[in-house]
Amino acid sequence: MERATFYEKNLRYVLSFDADLGLARRASTAAEYPQRRDEVAALGAHTHVFDSANEAPVYNALSESRVLGGELAVTGHLRFLQERAEFMPSADYGRWDGRLVLYTEDRQVIEAKFDGFFRAGHRWHWVQRGESAAEGDGSVETKAFLSVRFETGSSKYKWIVGVQCVAYGLMGVLNGDLTRVTFDVYAMA
């Protein structure tokens, strides 16, 4: 028998992050790639390889110290381990996926995987053709929608492993490359 009522749906704010991927990309061309071992997952240790110049802020845009009714808010910085943008042929959207690692101010390590879509509406033709926009610095502003899952071995932030997260954001695309990105991450509840 079909339901006639909806289930409860909530998106509860967790954190925000910004990054300048263009800056990181330029830095990485000359960077050495140190390797470090981060104790991340309940399922075992993960090893991260990245360039050390690639750092971006993780913060609470509402200046809250607690989220989800009492859990410790995540603030610090992050590094992208890998990200990949696909500009879908014959479509007016792209896909973006990757991994990043968060380093909290209290020296805990949280890993994240993400994937999702980005769209630019009527400005998509600039993105598709790898051209710059005719306004501002030439970046085409796209809206992005991500699915995000976190892993950590930290007992302080264990709560974040057990929530399915999504992220709403904006991404700049300049001449076919992602530039500045900004996201708000929410827990589904």
Among 54, 104, 108, 139, binds other proteins (CB under 8 A): 139
Q: Which two tokens stand for residue 34?
A: 């140190």
Question: Is residue 131 a contact point for other proteins (CB under 8 A)?
Answer: no
Question: Is residue 81 a contact point for other proteins (CB under 8 A)?
Answer: no
- Selected range binding other proteins among 36-44, 65-73, 79-87, 99-107, rule: CB under 8 A: 36-44
Q: What is the per-residue binding string for other proteins in 82-101, x denoting contact by CB under 8 A?
A: ---------xxx--------
Residues that bind other proteins (CB under 8 A): 2-9, 11, 13, 16, 18-20, 23, 42-44, 56-57, 59, 61-63, 91-93, 116-117, 119, 135-137, 139, 141, 143, 145-147, 149, 158, 161-164, 166, 168-172, 179-184, 186, 188-189
